[in-house]
Structure 1
Amino acid sequence: MEDAPGETGRPAAQYLRMSTDRQDVSLEFQARAIATWAKSHGFHIVQTFTDHGISGVTLEKRDALKELLRIVLDGHPGFSAILVYDVSRWGRFQNPDQAAHYEFMCQEAGVDVEYCAESFRNDGTAMSGLIKHVKRTMAAEFSRENSQRISRAKMVLRERNFWTGGQGGYGYRRAIVDADGSVIHVCDDGERFERPGCHTRLVLGPIHEVEVVRRIFASYLNLGESYTTVARTLNLEGLAFKDGGLWTVGRVRGVLNNPKYCGRLSLGRTRQRLGEPRQSVDPKHWVKSSACPPIVSTGLYDRVQAKIRWCSEQPSRADLIRELQRVAAECGTLSEKAIFEKSIYGLETFRDAFGGMLKAYKACGYIQTPKQAMYSDRIVAAQKNRPTEKFSIPELLDMLRMLWKRHGRLSMSLVNISPDLPHSSTYTRRFGSIATAYVAIGYTPSEQQLKVSKVRNGPGKRSRAFGRRRGMKNGVPRTGV
């Protein structure tokens, strides 16, 4: 609430804050109280700074207060005082000296801080300083005690198999249930529904999401499949994530590594209180809950975890060099296709270890054929002038469209030898495969291009041959392997 132009008195800014966006009248109430105080003390409000639904325990997310402090410290704020409803609105910092520090910064810049609803006047006397410190300590203690109460309440709800987290995640939705466990309402993502005496459990989401989750688990167990290949297949078939975006390696990993999909819900695995960094909790203090129905069987989940652990083993550089030499001796040549078909390791393993396939060839002593060397030289030449800045998804697609328009076709080779485009590996990381990027701009990749994309990108850390050579059964390493 700002005064009309022409008001007399000292110009002042008002700072408003509410801790939660469910306090519908808090900001209006603060503004009215501050306006009444300002009128009776000879101030007129020229600017308002508001933090909506932001906790006062830290400065991190309080953009309005940070902007207010920046304007004050610049030296020409256009006002001589800051009006705040009370000490707790300025902040509930766990260290009371932090609130005093920000106030002192303003006073040093010639801007006073006034607390309009307090019983004392912030006039710099010893008594006002003592009362402020007590009030700041009380505000911090209120947040600490409230945090402990909420933590205890959540622990009780978890032990009673209720959901105390945020969104349910892919394949699930939050359901409001009464004391008997009967479902009253199923919430969409972002929807808030509250009713006294009711709590939250997870229920299965839309059937197509449930089927996609089951497919992800089943597909990953196939020989040669990885996070990357599963995400690429989902994107090529147009099975979008629930926000309409693409499936990424991180999203696939998040599904495959989450025990809630087999009904093993472990709550309280991390703790974050009063703006402190998130901390891991000792597994013995986790709460085992059945607040969500399983989507896949525990046996399937355990087999997936076994494969994930098995595939995470990293070979040494010496092992990789010996493997490249073996493939070269067996095939008479060394190429990405030969490595994909014959090696026990996937292409990404060699790229990660050596920084690229050309460096891997050099490390094992392989001399390229003239045709291979010519193509490699063109890639190296393009690499010298290749843009290095990070592009957005639309920018990457626009560059791919320009290449298509220029040549009338698209291929991974064209992308790699074009100095004005990022390397094809950039498209693989951002889209799951370069073939997915082709589809995104309306270009239909041929069967050969799909195969080449799969060969070059590889199925992650291990190749299909890994399962054939090292021994797998139903996607899980056999005993003793």
Structure 2
Amino acid sequence: MRMSTDDQKNSIENQLSFIKGYAAAHNMIIVKEYKDIGISGLKFDNRPAIQQLLSDVINHQADFEIVLVYDMSRWSRSQNTKESRFNLYLCEKNGVRVICCVGNGAKYDSNPDEFSAEIRELFDLHDAANFSKNLSLRVFRGQCHLITLGFRQGGSAGFGFRRVLFDGAGNRKFILKRGQWKSLQTDRVILEKGPQEEVDIVNKIYQWFVYDRKTEREIADILNSESIKTDLDRPWTRGVVHQILTNEKYIGHNVYNRKSFKLKAKRVSNPPEEWVRKNHAFPAIVPFDLFEQTQDIIYKRSKKITKKQMIELLRKLLETKGKLSGLLIDEQENMPSSSIYRAKFGGLLKAYILVGFKPERDYSYIETNKNLRDMYPQILEQVNKVFKEYGSEIKQLSNGLICVNNGLNISIILSRCITKSPSNHQWLLRFDSGLKPDITVAVRMKPDNLNILDYYIIPHLAIQDDILKINSLDQFTLDVYRFDSLDFLYKSTTLIPLFKVS
């Protein structure tokens, strides 16, 4: 049994009650219980109960022949369904069957003799994994929407600010202290100016930098000499001062999604085009013109150093630290800031490439997406041309939507190929549900992302989520919609003349 949050107070009890009923109905005796309480199902490694179960089975210390689970999502919500299936296989290999008690699972177990059972198992594991993924996506979209409304999403307030809690009706409740978080889903958090002494210090930092031409290190030394601590009650560093000098929240702008940490994956820095922002979301601490002067100084001081020198400094930092990051760059003395590297080289990634550093996250998709955007109008033009050759009437609507024969709205989307390994590729089909097309044509690209692999012709009624993932190792469930060309669509929409019969 497993439940992910303490809010599901009756989840374990409900699962156990149902399992006991199933066992009694099938003349089984329950001899042991395994419970993962308040633990996410995304990773097996973080779940002590199921780890113990697998250990008992593998080491032949299990005094049972069957494992009952409420449904497959209680076994796992792992995004790696192969891991979930492998753990089922370990049980089966050691003589222990895993049986689900509800839904389709009530009709199958891990016994490999029934092929249809294996198929249902695959579907259930896929659904369990997708639930977490889709939930994460919906939560992220909701957070982005709240940002555009001026609400704060996650993270500390920062020096000079305080997080203030409001209820769903917009009534102010109280200031959240460090380590405190909202407890009600309907509550909202906004930033307000903190104590006047902190606001004054922030302005002094900007004034020292702009008017007195002090460096970030010199400013940090002044603050430390006066025994002033950061908002995290730590000494000041060059990097912390630089962050204050470059963070747009000090002019009231709310910026979100600079970094991502979804579904227990590694934290990654996102490119600026993926940031979500709301300007003038809350009161500014620093005058806009002072902030602009600051950014201008930070940019201009980099002109004293050539690109070649910047790359050499970056290479030496990589040799010393073994890795690179924006914060690491900002902490270095006598080195341009990370924002200067972005401005000079068109992004940190491009500077990293020049010194042979490859971040854990692959950012090559940025260039690929640009190429696909350039390719899209050509594909759209070709599709329209062939429709007309088949005698169909075409009207070009907005956002890639075309109307065929004044009755059928078709959306054309491109899906780049994401290479996971030489034998494993992935495609994300991003549907624009706002257009409400009758049919979506998903153009799937080959691994080189230069040539078309095939097409998915998907009716609107078959689309349940805004994003659909296709994996080259596990895509048979959608084969009914796959075509090597669009001939079927062209022929299906051809007008057939009707003749009067007397």
How much has 1:201 moved relative to structure 2?
1.7
Query: Corresponding residue for 1:291?
Result: 281
Query: Corresponding residue for 1:217?
Result: 206
Gaps of 5+ in 1: 1-15, 321-348, 357-428, 433-457, 463-481
Superposed CA RMSD in Å reads: 4.4
2:292 to 262, 281, 302: 302
CA distance in structure 2 between the aligned counterparts of 1:307 and 1:214, rounded to whole angstroms: 16
Query: Corresponding residue for 2:149?
Result: 160
Change (3 A) 1:318 1:87: closer
Query: Corresponding residue for 1:200?
Result: 189
How much has 1:156 moved relative to structure 2?
2.9
Please tell me whether residue 42 in structure 1 is matched to residue 40 in structure 2.
Answer: no
Please tell me whether residue 52 in structure 1 is matched to residue 38 in structure 2.
Answer: yes
Q: In the alignment, is the contact (CA less than 8 A) between 2:42 and 2:78 conserved in 1?
A: yes
Show CA shifts across 1:438-478 (max 9, x none). xxxxxxxxxxxxxxxxxxxx97449xxxxxxxxxxxxxxxx
Matches within 5 A, 1:414-433: none
Corresponding residue pairs, total: 318
Q: In the alignment, is the contact (CA less than 8 A) between 2:97 and 2:110 conserved in 1?
A: no
Q: In the alignment, is the contact (CA less than 8 A) between 1:171 and 1:205 conserved in 2?
A: yes
Query: Corresponding residue for 1:105?
Result: 90
Matches within 5 A, 1:106-121: 106-109=91-94, 112-115=97-100, 119-120=106-107
- SS state at 2:202 partner: helix
CA radius of gyration, larger in? 1
Change (3 A) 1:194 1:66: closer
CA distance in structure 1 between the aligned counterparts of 2:275 and 2:56, rounded to whole angstroms: 47
Give 1:214's aligned amino acid.
N
How much has 1:24 moved relative to structure 2?
4.0
Matches within 5 A, 1:119-268: 119-120=106-107, 122-124=109-111, 125-126=113-114, 127-178=116-167, 181-195=170-184, 197-221=186-210, 225-268=214-257
How much has 1:78 moved relative to structure 2?
5.6
- SS state at 1:45 partner: coil
Query: Corresponding residue for 1:23?
Result: 8
Of the two structures, which has the highest relative contact order with CA contacts closer than 8 Å and spacing of 6 or more? 1
Q: In the alignment, is the contact (CA less than 8 A) between 2:58 and 2:90 conserved in 1?
A: no
CA distance in structure 2 between the aligned counterparts of 1:310 and 1:59, rounded to whole angstroms: 51
- SS state at 1:122 partner: coil
Give 1:153's aligned amino acid.
G
CA distance in structure 1 between the aligned counterparts of 2:96 and 2:303, rounded to whole angstroms: 60
CA distance in structure 2 between the aligned counterparts of 1:51 and 1:229, rounded to whole angstroms: 50
- SS state at 2:31 partner: strand
Change (3 A) 1:307 1:99: same
Give 2:141's aligned amino acid.
R
Change (3 A) 1:154 1:196: closer
Give 1:52's aligned amino acid.
G
How much has 1:87 moved relative to structure 2?
0.9
Change (3 A) 1:308 1:114: farther
Q: In the alignment, is the contact (CA less than 8 A) between 1:85 and 1:116 conserved in 2?
A: yes
Change (3 A) 1:151 1:243: closer
Give 1:187's aligned amino acid.
L
Higher helix share: 1
Give 1:305's aligned amino acid.
Q
Q: In the alignment, is the contact (CA less than 8 A) between 1:72 and 1:106 conserved in 2?
A: no
Give 2:38's aligned amino acid.
H
CA distance in structure 2 between the aligned counterparts of 1:69 and 1:310, rounded to whole angstroms: 62
Higher strand share: 2
Q: In the alignment, is the contact (CA less than 8 A) between 1:226 and 1:460 conserved in 2?
A: no
* Bigger Cα displacement from structure 2, 301-310 vs 72-81: 72-81
How much has 1:178 moved relative to structure 2?
4.6
- SS state at 1:20 partner: coil
CA distance in structure 2 between the aligned counterparts of 1:130 and 1:317, rounded to whole angstroms: 57
Query: Corresponding residue for 2:73?
Result: 88
Q: In the alignment, is the contact (CA less than 8 A) between 1:174 and 1:186 conserved in 2?
A: yes
Show CA shifts across 1:295-340 (max 9, x none). 21222222222333344568479999xxxxxxxxxxxxxxxxxxxx
Query: Corresponding residue for 2:446?
Result: none
CA distance in structure 1 between the aligned counterparts of 2:167 and 2:150, rounded to whole angstroms: 13
Show CA shifts across 1:155-189 (max 9, x none). 33222222233433333232233566442332223
CA distance in structure 2 between the aligned counterparts of 1:149 and 1:53, rounded to whole angstroms: 21
Seq. identity, %: 25
CA distance in structure 1 between the aligned counterparts of 2:309 and 2:183, rounded to whole angstroms: 59
Give 1:261's aligned amino acid.
Y
Q: In the alignment, is the contact (CA less than 8 A) between 1:271 and 1:281 conserved in 2?
A: no
CA distance in structure 1 between the aligned counterparts of 2:75 and 2:304, rounded to whole angstroms: 52
CA distance in structure 1 between the aligned counterparts of 2:303 and 2:61, rounded to whole angstroms: 59
1:75 to 48, 51, 59: 59
Change (3 A) 1:120 1:184: same
Q: In the alignment, is the contact (CA less than 8 A) between 2:163 and 2:190 conserved in 1?
A: yes
Q: In the alignment, is the contact (CA less than 8 A) between 2:15 and 2:70 conserved in 1?
A: yes
